[in-house]
Amino acid sequence: MSDRMLTMAEAVREAMSIAFDERPEVFLLGEDVGIYGGAFGVSGDMYHRYGSERVLDTPIAELGIVGAAVGAALSGMRPIVEIQFSDFTAQAMDQIANQAAKIHFMLGGALHVPMVLRTPQGSGTGAAAQHSQNLEPWFASVPGLKVVVPSNPADAKGLLLSAIDDPNPVIFLEHKLLYKIPGRDPVPEGATRIPLGVSKVVREGKDLTIVATGIMVNKSWEVAEKLAAEGITITLIDPRTISPLDMGPVFESVEKTGRLMVVQEGPAQAGFINEVIAQLAGSSSFGSLIAPIKRLAGMNIPIPYAPQLEKAAVPQIDDIEAAAREIVKNWR
């Protein structure tokens, strides 16, 4: 095990580089991914290391970018698409939802679409309503797409390698605020894969189960650390892949703690995290609950531009801490 502490941007770049080295059919395309190094610096020096044939700068035309990638994938390539902001996937949605997701199934499995679509999402950068959304439920509700939401550099690297291996489309949603933050855990050297569809129990406790996605895993971790000092211990579960979703660890944990809180940044209404609640409510673990399920999620509003309002629109550490205390204190 290495002790390298990378940022998520570095870890993603490392995974892409390993895939580039492993397979000549892997290439990257997107707006400003080449000479500029990516809007968030994720591709960095890859243009210079791999050249303009494998790191393609594209016009500002998301539908065309994804369409080209789908076509390349059908032709035996393994494209990695970077969409500059996940909000812009709306432009490309026909290629994503109606082509990439469906082709394998509509042709009886005769063809594959081994494409990865990476894109940054989330609020906190002061970029306002059209550049701050969390759109994971769009993708998670389309059968045929796998959806990955990494919360840390080590997972991002291992999951991205598996996503590139996958014979059909994977949507890879990276939170912008995580790009520049080193993870808590070192990133292993080499091509270590993390399988898709396996939830990670980040830490174990006895009083409360928190299921969180993306950046909310980090915020929940902070809360768990703080409350542990007071004797409230939390099991924190990061699904990592939200489609397919691995609920096993959630059921197991809730059967021990009896309390469940779910946390996501995206809006509460019809949000992905509701799927966790629904599956638990319909499972035999339901009878283990000793408290109502608590949901913390973004408000049902477009992300505001004003920094204070932007912050107030999504769960913050204090919100998670207060909710965790309340559920443990009130329900015994």
195 binds other proteins (CB under 8 A): no
**Residue 161 near residue 15, CB atoms below 8 Å:** yes
Which of 51, 109, 244, 292 is the binder for other proteins (CB under 8 A)? 292
331 binds other proteins (CB under 8 A): yes
Q: What angle do the packed helices 215-228 and 317-330 form, to 10 degrees?
A: 50
**Residue 250 near residue 211, CB atoms below 8 Å:** yes
- Among 14, 82, 104, 131, the active-site one is 131
Minimum Å distance from CB 331 to other proteins? 6
Token pair belonging to 79: 């494209």
Minimum Å distance from CB 320 to other proteins? 19
Which of 60, 290, 301, 322 is the binder for other proteins (CB under 8 A)? 290
Which of 36, 105, 286, 305 is the binder for other proteins (CB under 8 A)? 286
Token pair belonging to 56: 């393609």
Minimum Å distance from CB 291 to other proteins? 6
258 binds other proteins (CB under 8 A): yes
Round to whole Å and give the CA distance between 301 and 307.
15
**Residue 250 near residue 276, CB atoms below 8 Å:** yes
Q: Total residues contacting other proteins (rule CB under 8 A)?
A: 11
Q: For other proteins, which stretch binds (CB under 8 A), given 7-15, 69-77, 180-188, 283-291?
A: 283-291
Round to whole Å and give the CA distance between 69 and 42.
19
Q: What are phi and psi of 208, to 5 degrees?
A: -155, 140
Round to whole Å and give the CA distance between 238 and 104.
29
What is the footprint of other proteins within residues 16-45 (CB under 8 A)? none
Strands (E), 153-195: 170-175
Does the CA dihedral 270-302-67-21 come out positive or negative?
negative
Minimum Å distance from CB 60 to other proteins? 52
Token pair belonging to 281: 């409510």
Q: For other proteins, which stretch binds (CB under 8 A), given 36-44, 239-247, 282-290, 300-308?
A: 282-290
Minimum Å distance from CB 236 to other proteins? 22
Token pair belonging to 32: 């400003």
Residue closer to other proteins (CB basis): 108 or 287: 287
Residue closer to other proteins (CB basis): 165 or 255: 255
Which residues, listed in sequence order, are joined to residue 57 by a DSSP beta bridge? Answer: 30
332 binds other proteins (CB under 8 A): yes
Which of 291, 299, 312, 317 is the binder for other proteins (CB under 8 A)? 291
Tally the residues of the chain.
332
Catalytic residue check, 48: no
Q: What are phi and psi of 295, to 5 degrees?
A: -115, 125
330 binds other proteins (CB under 8 A): yes
Round to whole Å and give the CA distance between 252 and 260.
12
Round to whole Å and give the CA distance between 269 and 31.
31
Minimum Å distance from CB 323 to other proteins? 13
Q: For other proteins, which stretch binds (CB under 8 A), given 18-26, 50-58, 134-142, 280-288?
A: 280-288
Round to whole Å and give the CA distance between 235 and 302.
31
Catalytic residue check, 131: yes
Token pair belonging to 255: 């059967």
126 binds other proteins (CB under 8 A): no
Which of 181, 268, 289, 317 is the binder for other proteins (CB under 8 A)? 289
Minimum Å distance from CB 226 to other proteins? 24
What is the CA angle 47-53-55, rounded to 5?
Answer: 35
- Among 62, 82, 265, 275, the active-site one is 62
Residue closer to other proteins (CB basis): 39 or 289: 289
Catalytic residue numbers read: 62, 131
Binding site for other proteins (CB under 8 A): 258, 286-292, 330-332
